[in-house]
Structure 1
Amino acid sequence: MIPVLGAVVAALALSACGSQPPRPGAAALIGPDKITIAAVEARVAEFRTQAAQLPAGQYQEQAGLVGATVSGMVFDQVVAHALDDHGLAVTDSEVGRLRDEQTAAWGGEQGLEQMLLLKHAVPAKEIDSFYREQLGLQKLAAMNGQQLGTADGNKAVHQLLTEASNELKVTVNPRYGSWDPAQAVLDGPSEPWLPQSGAAA
Protein backbone atom coordinates (compact mmCIF):
# COMPACT_ATOMS: atom_id res chain seq x y z
CA MET A 1 0.00 0.00 0.00
CA ILE A 2 1.36 3.39 -0.97
CA PRO A 3 1.50 5.72 2.04
CA VAL A 4 -0.84 8.67 1.69
CA LEU A 5 1.17 11.40 3.33
CA GLY A 6 0.27 14.70 1.71
CA ALA A 7 -3.47 14.60 2.25
CA VAL A 8 -3.24 15.49 5.92
CA VAL A 9 -1.33 18.69 5.26
CA ALA A 10 -4.44 20.60 4.28
CA ALA A 11 -6.13 19.54 7.50
CA LEU A 12 -3.41 20.92 9.76
CA ALA A 13 -4.03 24.47 10.92
CA LEU A 14 -1.49 27.27 11.05
CA SER A 15 -2.40 30.21 13.21
CA ALA A 16 -1.38 33.48 11.59
CA CYS A 17 0.32 35.85 13.93
CA GLY A 18 1.91 39.25 13.69
CA SER A 19 0.35 42.47 12.51
CA GLN A 20 3.32 43.99 10.69
CA PRO A 21 2.90 44.02 6.92
CA PRO A 22 5.50 42.12 4.93
CA ARG A 23 8.48 44.09 3.65
CA PRO A 24 8.50 45.15 -0.01
CA GLY A 25 9.18 42.18 -2.25
CA ALA A 26 8.05 39.68 0.38
CA ALA A 27 5.29 37.17 -0.19
CA ALA A 28 5.49 36.12 3.45
CA LEU A 29 7.59 36.60 6.56
CA ILE A 30 8.39 33.59 8.72
CA GLY A 31 10.42 34.71 11.69
CA PRO A 32 13.63 36.33 10.38
CA ASP A 33 13.21 34.70 6.98
CA LYS A 34 11.43 36.03 3.93
CA ILE A 35 9.73 34.22 1.07
CA THR A 36 10.18 36.56 -1.85
CA ILE A 37 7.60 37.27 -4.51
CA ALA A 38 10.24 36.29 -7.06
CA ALA A 39 10.57 32.87 -5.42
CA VAL A 40 6.81 32.35 -5.56
CA GLU A 41 6.71 33.39 -9.22
CA ALA A 42 9.57 31.01 -10.00
CA ARG A 43 7.83 28.09 -8.27
CA VAL A 44 4.56 28.78 -10.09
CA ALA A 45 6.37 29.08 -13.41
CA GLU A 46 8.16 25.80 -12.77
CA PHE A 47 4.86 24.09 -12.05
CA ARG A 48 3.21 25.49 -15.18
CA THR A 49 6.13 24.51 -17.39
CA GLN A 50 5.93 20.93 -16.17
CA ALA A 51 2.13 20.86 -16.39
CA ALA A 52 2.27 22.07 -19.98
CA GLN A 53 4.18 18.91 -20.88
CA LEU A 54 1.39 16.60 -19.71
CA PRO A 55 -0.86 14.95 -22.31
CA ALA A 56 -3.64 17.23 -23.55
CA GLY A 57 -6.65 17.22 -21.25
CA GLN A 58 -4.84 15.65 -18.29
CA TYR A 59 -4.51 18.93 -16.42
CA GLN A 60 -6.42 22.18 -16.45
CA GLU A 61 -5.27 24.84 -14.04
CA GLN A 62 -7.81 25.90 -11.45
CA ALA A 63 -7.92 29.15 -9.52
CA GLY A 64 -5.84 29.12 -6.37
CA LEU A 65 -2.50 27.82 -7.64
CA VAL A 66 -0.61 30.94 -6.57
CA GLY A 67 -2.13 30.99 -3.08
CA ALA A 68 -1.52 27.27 -2.66
CA THR A 69 2.10 27.82 -3.65
CA VAL A 70 2.59 30.53 -1.03
CA SER A 71 0.80 28.39 1.55
CA GLY A 72 3.01 25.40 0.81
CA MET A 73 6.22 27.42 1.00
CA VAL A 74 5.21 28.85 4.37
CA PHE A 75 4.07 25.47 5.65
CA ASP A 76 7.41 23.89 4.79
CA GLN A 77 9.29 26.40 6.94
CA VAL A 78 6.89 26.04 9.85
CA VAL A 79 7.33 22.26 9.82
CA ALA A 80 11.11 22.69 9.74
CA HIS A 81 10.93 25.06 12.71
CA ALA A 82 8.77 22.65 14.71
CA LEU A 83 11.23 19.82 14.05
CA ASP A 84 14.18 21.95 15.10
CA ASP A 85 12.39 23.07 18.26
CA HIS A 86 12.06 19.46 19.35
CA GLY A 87 15.47 18.24 18.26
CA LEU A 88 14.13 16.22 15.36
CA ALA A 89 15.53 15.92 11.85
CA VAL A 90 14.89 14.08 8.61
CA THR A 91 17.99 12.62 6.98
CA ASP A 92 18.79 12.54 3.28
CA SER A 93 18.81 8.74 3.42
CA GLU A 94 15.28 8.69 4.82
CA VAL A 95 14.11 10.97 2.02
CA GLY A 96 15.91 8.81 -0.53
CA ARG A 97 14.33 5.59 0.73
CA LEU A 98 10.82 7.03 0.62
CA ARG A 99 11.38 8.46 -2.83
CA ASP A 100 12.69 5.12 -4.09
CA GLU A 101 9.62 3.33 -2.65
CA GLN A 102 7.23 5.80 -4.21
CA THR A 103 9.07 5.74 -7.55
CA ALA A 104 8.70 1.97 -7.69
CA ALA A 105 5.05 2.16 -6.67
CA TRP A 106 4.25 4.64 -9.46
CA GLY A 107 6.08 2.76 -12.17
CA GLY A 108 9.13 4.96 -12.45
CA GLU A 109 10.27 8.54 -12.08
CA GLN A 110 7.89 9.91 -14.70
CA GLY A 111 4.89 8.34 -12.99
CA LEU A 112 5.99 9.72 -9.65
CA GLU A 113 6.50 13.21 -11.03
CA GLN A 114 3.08 13.25 -12.70
CA MET A 115 1.32 11.96 -9.58
CA LEU A 116 2.89 14.57 -7.31
CA LEU A 117 2.27 17.34 -9.81
CA LEU A 118 -1.41 16.51 -10.23
CA LYS A 119 -2.25 15.51 -6.66
CA HIS A 120 -0.10 17.88 -4.64
CA ALA A 121 1.09 20.59 -7.08
CA VAL A 122 4.70 19.56 -6.43
CA PRO A 123 7.05 20.24 -9.36
CA ALA A 124 9.85 17.78 -10.01
CA LYS A 125 12.59 19.91 -8.42
CA GLU A 126 10.67 20.03 -5.13
CA ILE A 127 9.98 16.30 -4.70
CA ASP A 128 12.72 15.72 -2.13
CA SER A 129 11.58 18.76 -0.13
CA PHE A 130 8.00 17.46 -0.23
CA TYR A 131 9.01 14.06 1.12
CA ARG A 132 11.23 15.66 3.75
CA GLU A 133 8.22 17.65 4.96
CA GLN A 134 5.96 14.58 5.02
CA LEU A 135 8.50 12.55 6.97
CA GLY A 136 8.88 15.47 9.35
CA LEU A 137 5.15 15.49 10.01
CA GLN A 138 5.30 11.78 10.75
CA LYS A 139 8.11 12.34 13.25
CA LEU A 140 6.19 15.12 15.00
CA ALA A 141 3.25 12.76 15.44
CA ALA A 142 5.47 9.90 16.61
CA MET A 143 7.07 12.18 19.20
CA ASN A 144 3.69 12.14 20.95
CA GLY A 145 3.20 8.41 20.45
CA GLN A 146 0.70 9.02 17.68
CA GLN A 147 0.39 8.19 14.00
CA LEU A 148 -0.07 10.82 11.33
CA GLY A 149 -3.44 10.56 9.62
CA THR A 150 -5.35 9.59 12.76
CA ALA A 151 -7.50 12.05 14.69
CA ASP A 152 -5.15 12.04 17.69
CA GLY A 153 -2.05 12.18 15.51
CA ASN A 154 -3.30 15.11 13.46
CA LYS A 155 -4.36 16.93 16.62
CA ALA A 156 -0.92 16.50 18.18
CA VAL A 157 0.86 17.72 15.05
CA HIS A 158 -1.55 20.61 14.68
CA GLN A 159 -0.70 21.79 18.17
CA LEU A 160 3.03 21.65 17.47
CA LEU A 161 2.66 23.54 14.19
CA THR A 162 0.46 26.16 15.81
CA GLU A 163 3.14 26.72 18.46
CA ALA A 164 5.81 26.99 15.77
CA SER A 165 3.68 29.41 13.77
CA ASN A 166 3.15 31.56 16.87
CA GLU A 167 6.89 31.64 17.55
CA LEU A 168 7.66 32.60 13.96
CA LYS A 169 4.92 35.25 13.75
CA VAL A 170 3.93 34.19 10.25
CA THR A 171 2.67 37.09 8.12
CA VAL A 172 1.45 36.73 4.54
CA ASN A 173 1.39 39.56 2.01
CA PRO A 174 -2.28 40.60 1.59
CA ARG A 175 -1.98 40.34 -2.19
CA TYR A 176 -1.84 36.57 -1.72
CA GLY A 177 -4.62 36.45 0.84
CA SER A 178 -4.58 35.93 4.58
CA TRP A 179 -4.42 33.02 6.96
CA ASP A 180 -7.79 31.79 8.16
CA PRO A 181 -6.98 30.06 11.44
CA ALA A 182 -10.44 28.50 11.75
CA GLN A 183 -10.32 26.87 8.32
CA ALA A 184 -6.54 26.41 8.08
CA VAL A 185 -6.46 27.81 4.57
CA LEU A 186 -5.09 30.84 2.81
CA ASP A 187 -8.04 32.97 1.72
CA GLY A 188 -7.87 33.97 -1.94
CA PRO A 189 -6.12 37.14 -3.09
CA SER A 190 -8.16 40.19 -3.98
CA GLU A 191 -6.40 40.57 -7.34
CA PRO A 192 -4.91 38.07 -9.83
CA TRP A 193 -1.35 39.28 -9.32
CA LEU A 194 0.09 36.42 -11.33
CA PRO A 195 -1.46 35.31 -14.62
CA GLN A 196 -3.64 32.25 -14.32
CA SER A 197 -3.27 31.11 -17.91
CA GLY A 198 -0.42 29.31 -19.55
CA ALA A 199 -0.78 25.83 -18.09
CA ALA A 200 -1.59 22.75 -20.07
CA ALA A 201 -4.39 23.21 -22.56
Structure 2
Amino acid sequence: MIRSSSVPRTARRTVRRSAPALGALLAVVVLSACGGQPRPGAAALVGDQRITVAAVQARVAEFRSQAAALPSGQYQEQSGLVGATVSGMVFNAVVEHALESNGLSVSQTEIAQVRAEQAQVWGGEPALEQMLLLKHAVPVAEIDGFYREQIGLQKLAALTGKQIGTTEGNKTVHQLLAEASAELKVSVNPRYGSWDAEQAVLDAPSADWLPQSGAAA
Protein backbone atom coordinates (compact mmCIF):
# COMPACT_ATOMS: atom_id res chain seq x y z
CA MET A 1 0.00 0.00 0.00
CA ILE A 2 1.16 3.49 -0.75
CA ARG A 3 1.06 5.71 2.30
CA SER A 4 0.55 9.33 1.43
CA SER A 5 2.97 10.48 4.10
CA SER A 6 5.81 8.66 2.33
CA VAL A 7 5.33 9.80 -1.24
CA PRO A 8 7.67 12.43 -2.66
CA ARG A 9 5.09 14.54 -4.49
CA THR A 10 4.94 17.31 -1.90
CA ALA A 11 8.67 17.90 -2.02
CA ARG A 12 8.78 18.70 -5.71
CA ARG A 13 5.80 21.04 -5.49
CA THR A 14 7.96 23.71 -3.84
CA VAL A 15 9.80 26.25 -5.99
CA ARG A 16 12.69 27.60 -4.03
CA ARG A 17 15.13 30.45 -3.72
CA SER A 18 17.17 28.54 -1.14
CA ALA A 19 17.33 24.76 -0.91
CA PRO A 20 14.26 23.24 0.79
CA ALA A 21 13.96 20.01 2.69
CA LEU A 22 13.22 17.56 -0.13
CA GLY A 23 11.59 14.14 -0.16
CA ALA A 24 13.86 11.11 0.10
CA LEU A 25 13.73 10.41 -3.61
CA LEU A 26 13.75 13.89 -5.05
CA ALA A 27 16.76 14.98 -3.05
CA VAL A 28 18.86 12.82 -5.35
CA VAL A 29 17.04 12.92 -8.68
CA VAL A 30 18.93 14.80 -11.41
CA LEU A 31 16.89 16.20 -14.27
CA SER A 32 18.86 17.41 -17.27
CA ALA A 33 18.64 21.12 -18.01
CA CYS A 34 20.23 20.82 -21.44
CA GLY A 35 18.50 21.09 -24.79
CA GLY A 36 16.92 23.92 -26.74
CA GLN A 37 14.92 26.70 -25.17
CA PRO A 38 11.14 26.23 -25.12
CA ARG A 39 9.27 27.82 -28.02
CA PRO A 40 6.89 30.73 -27.33
CA GLY A 41 3.81 29.47 -25.52
CA ALA A 42 5.66 26.54 -23.98
CA ALA A 43 6.31 26.26 -20.27
CA ALA A 44 8.70 23.36 -20.85
CA LEU A 45 9.92 20.91 -23.45
CA VAL A 46 10.38 17.29 -22.43
CA GLY A 47 11.54 15.34 -25.45
CA ASP A 48 8.83 15.72 -28.09
CA GLN A 49 6.28 16.73 -25.45
CA ARG A 50 5.47 20.41 -25.26
CA ILE A 51 3.99 21.45 -21.91
CA THR A 52 2.07 24.58 -22.81
CA VAL A 53 1.54 27.64 -20.68
CA ALA A 54 -2.20 27.15 -21.25
CA ALA A 55 -2.04 23.64 -19.77
CA VAL A 56 -0.20 24.96 -16.71
CA GLN A 57 -2.72 27.76 -16.30
CA ALA A 58 -5.62 25.33 -16.54
CA ARG A 59 -4.18 23.04 -13.87
CA VAL A 60 -3.44 25.92 -11.51
CA ALA A 61 -6.93 27.34 -12.04
CA GLU A 62 -8.46 23.94 -11.30
CA PHE A 63 -6.51 23.66 -8.08
CA ARG A 64 -7.35 27.19 -6.95
CA SER A 65 -11.04 26.65 -7.67
CA GLN A 66 -11.16 23.52 -5.53
CA ALA A 67 -9.04 25.07 -2.77
CA ALA A 68 -11.36 28.09 -2.67
CA ALA A 69 -14.29 25.77 -1.99
CA LEU A 70 -12.70 24.43 1.21
CA PRO A 71 -13.95 25.71 4.58
CA SER A 72 -12.45 29.07 5.49
CA GLY A 73 -9.01 28.84 7.07
CA GLN A 74 -8.12 25.37 5.77
CA TYR A 75 -5.95 26.58 2.92
CA GLN A 76 -3.86 29.65 2.25
CA GLU A 77 -1.86 29.65 -0.95
CA GLN A 78 1.88 29.99 -0.67
CA SER A 79 4.09 31.56 -3.34
CA GLY A 80 5.47 29.24 -5.97
CA LEU A 81 2.33 27.32 -6.93
CA VAL A 82 2.69 28.01 -10.66
CA GLY A 83 6.35 27.03 -10.88
CA ALA A 84 5.74 23.96 -8.75
CA THR A 85 2.99 22.93 -11.14
CA VAL A 86 5.41 23.15 -14.05
CA SER A 87 7.92 21.13 -12.06
CA GLY A 88 5.35 18.44 -11.35
CA MET A 89 4.23 18.17 -14.97
CA VAL A 90 7.83 17.82 -16.16
CA PHE A 91 8.65 15.22 -13.52
CA ASN A 92 5.59 13.19 -14.46
CA ALA A 93 6.71 13.08 -18.09
CA VAL A 94 10.19 11.95 -17.04
CA VAL A 95 8.75 9.12 -14.92
CA GLU A 96 6.57 7.98 -17.82
CA HIS A 97 9.58 7.89 -20.14
CA ALA A 98 11.62 5.91 -17.61
CA LEU A 99 8.83 3.36 -17.30
CA GLU A 100 8.49 2.97 -21.07
CA SER A 101 12.24 2.67 -21.52
CA ASN A 102 12.31 -0.19 -19.04
CA GLY A 103 9.29 -2.02 -20.41
CA LEU A 104 7.06 -1.09 -17.50
CA SER A 105 3.55 0.28 -17.28
CA VAL A 106 0.91 1.04 -14.67
CA SER A 107 -2.61 -0.25 -15.28
CA GLN A 108 -5.84 1.49 -14.45
CA THR A 109 -6.70 -1.52 -12.30
CA GLU A 110 -3.60 -0.96 -10.18
CA ILE A 111 -4.43 2.72 -9.80
CA ALA A 112 -8.02 2.00 -8.82
CA GLN A 113 -6.92 -0.55 -6.22
CA VAL A 114 -4.45 1.78 -4.54
CA ARG A 115 -6.89 4.67 -4.66
CA ALA A 116 -9.60 2.54 -3.02
CA GLU A 117 -7.17 1.41 -0.31
CA GLN A 118 -6.16 4.98 0.41
CA ALA A 119 -9.76 6.15 0.49
CA GLN A 120 -10.46 3.52 3.14
CA VAL A 121 -7.45 4.66 5.19
CA TRP A 122 -8.56 8.31 5.07
CA GLY A 123 -12.23 7.63 5.76
CA GLY A 124 -13.73 7.83 2.29
CA GLU A 125 -13.16 9.33 -1.14
CA PRO A 126 -14.08 12.93 -0.14
CA ALA A 127 -11.55 12.83 2.71
CA LEU A 128 -8.91 11.41 0.38
CA GLU A 129 -9.56 14.15 -2.17
CA GLN A 130 -9.23 16.85 0.48
CA MET A 131 -6.02 15.35 1.86
CA LEU A 132 -4.39 15.19 -1.57
CA LEU A 133 -5.49 18.73 -2.36
CA LEU A 134 -4.11 20.17 0.89
CA LYS A 135 -0.97 18.07 1.34
CA HIS A 136 0.10 17.48 -2.25
CA ALA A 137 -1.73 20.17 -4.28
CA VAL A 138 -3.42 17.50 -6.38
CA PRO A 139 -6.84 18.48 -7.78
CA VAL A 140 -9.46 15.77 -8.17
CA ALA A 141 -8.92 15.30 -11.91
CA GLU A 142 -5.22 14.56 -11.32
CA ILE A 143 -5.59 11.94 -8.55
CA ASP A 144 -5.27 8.95 -10.87
CA GLY A 145 -2.17 10.53 -12.39
CA PHE A 146 -0.75 11.07 -8.92
CA TYR A 147 -1.11 7.38 -8.08
CA ARG A 148 0.14 6.32 -11.51
CA GLU A 149 3.34 8.22 -10.83
CA GLN A 150 3.77 6.82 -7.31
CA ILE A 151 3.18 3.24 -8.43
CA GLY A 152 5.57 3.84 -11.33
CA LEU A 153 8.33 4.98 -8.97
CA GLN A 154 7.82 1.84 -6.92
CA LYS A 155 8.11 -0.31 -10.04
CA LEU A 156 11.32 1.40 -11.08
CA ALA A 157 12.85 0.71 -7.68
CA ALA A 158 11.68 -2.91 -7.85
CA LEU A 159 13.73 -3.50 -11.02
CA THR A 160 16.67 -4.22 -8.73
CA GLY A 161 14.60 -5.74 -5.95
CA LYS A 162 14.56 -2.59 -3.84
CA GLN A 163 11.82 -0.42 -2.35
CA ILE A 164 11.26 3.28 -2.87
CA GLY A 165 12.15 5.22 0.25
CA THR A 166 15.23 3.10 0.99
CA THR A 167 18.74 4.28 0.17
CA GLU A 168 19.28 1.63 -2.48
CA GLY A 169 15.77 1.96 -3.88
CA ASN A 170 16.13 5.73 -4.23
CA LYS A 171 19.54 5.28 -5.83
CA THR A 172 18.07 2.93 -8.43
CA VAL A 173 15.23 5.29 -9.26
CA HIS A 174 17.60 8.26 -9.37
CA GLN A 175 19.76 6.53 -11.96
CA LEU A 176 16.82 5.56 -14.15
CA LEU A 177 15.24 9.02 -14.02
CA ALA A 178 18.58 10.69 -14.70
CA GLU A 179 18.96 8.52 -17.80
CA ALA A 180 15.42 9.36 -18.91
CA SER A 181 16.04 13.06 -18.34
CA ALA A 182 19.21 12.99 -20.43
CA GLU A 183 17.36 11.29 -23.29
CA LEU A 184 14.50 13.79 -23.13
CA LYS A 185 16.71 16.91 -22.91
CA VAL A 186 14.41 18.72 -20.47
CA SER A 187 14.21 22.47 -21.00
CA VAL A 188 12.13 24.91 -18.93
CA ASN A 189 10.98 28.39 -19.88
CA PRO A 190 13.07 30.85 -17.80
CA ARG A 191 9.83 32.57 -16.81
CA TYR A 192 9.26 29.68 -14.42
CA GLY A 193 12.84 29.41 -13.20
CA SER A 194 15.68 27.06 -14.00
CA TRP A 195 16.39 23.45 -13.17
CA ASP A 196 18.66 22.79 -10.23
CA ALA A 197 20.39 19.64 -11.42
CA GLU A 198 21.41 18.58 -7.93
CA GLN A 199 18.01 19.04 -6.27
CA ALA A 200 15.71 18.32 -9.24
CA VAL A 201 13.46 21.27 -8.45
CA LEU A 202 12.93 24.68 -9.98
CA ASP A 203 14.96 27.58 -8.70
CA ALA A 204 12.74 30.64 -8.67
CA PRO A 205 13.28 33.06 -11.58
CA SER A 206 15.46 36.09 -10.98
CA ALA A 207 12.52 38.38 -11.73
CA ASP A 208 9.25 38.15 -9.84
CA TRP A 209 7.28 36.58 -12.69
CA LEU A 210 5.09 34.24 -10.68
CA PRO A 211 1.70 35.58 -9.55
CA GLN A 212 0.46 35.19 -6.03
CA SER A 213 -2.88 33.88 -4.81
CA GLY A 214 -5.83 34.99 -6.87
CA ALA A 215 -3.77 36.18 -9.83
CA ALA A 216 -3.85 34.61 -13.26
CA ALA A 217 -1.08 32.11 -13.86
Alignment TM-score, normalising by the size of structure 2: 0.87
In structure 1, distance between residues paired with 2:122 and 2:50: 35
For residues 82 and 39 of structure 1, the distance between their equivalents in structure 2, rounded to whole angstroms, comes to 22
- Within 2, Cα distance between the matches of 1:72 and 1:24? 20
Asked if structure 2 preserves the Cα contact closer than 8 Å seen for 1:177 and 1:186, the reply is: yes
Counterparts of 1:128-147 in structure 2, within 5 Å, are 128-147=144-163
Residue matched to 1:65: 81
- Verify the 8 A CA contact 1:41 1:194 in the aligned structure 2: no
| Aligned counterpart in structure 2 of residue 30 of structure 1, from 32, 46, 62 | 46
Across the aligned residues of Structure 1 and Structure 2, the Cα RMSD in angstroms comes to 1.6
Residue 48 (structure 2) pairs with residue 55 (structure 1)? no
CA distance in 2, matches of 1:148, 1:124: 25
Q: Deviations over 1:35-83 (max 9, x none)?
A: 0000000000001001001111111111111111000000001000000
**Seq. identity, %:** 66
| Compared CA separation, residues 62 and 186, structure 1 to 2 (3 A) | same
2:117 paired residue number: 101
In structure 1, what is the Cα distance between the partners aligned to 2:132 and 2:105?
23
- Tell me the amino acid that sits aligned with residue 155 of structure 1: K
The one-letter code sitting in structure 2 at the alignment partner of 1:77 is A
- In structure 1, the partner of 2:12 is none
Unmatched segments (≥5 aa) in structure 2: 9-22
What residue number does 1:43 align with? 59
- Say whether 1:21 aligns with 2:37: yes
1:27·1:36 contact (CA, 8 Å) conserved in 2? yes
- Out of 158, 164, 189, the residue aligned to residue 148 of structure 1 is 164
Deviation at 1:108, TM superposition (A): 1.2
Gaps in structure 1 of 5+ consecutive residues = none
Partner in structure 1 of residue 27 of structure 2: 11
Q: Secondary structure at the match of 1:182?
A: coil
- Is contact 2:30-2:197 (8 Å) kept? yes
The aligned residue for residue 90 of structure 2 is 74
Number of the residue aligned with 1:188: 204
AA paired with 1:131? Answer: Y
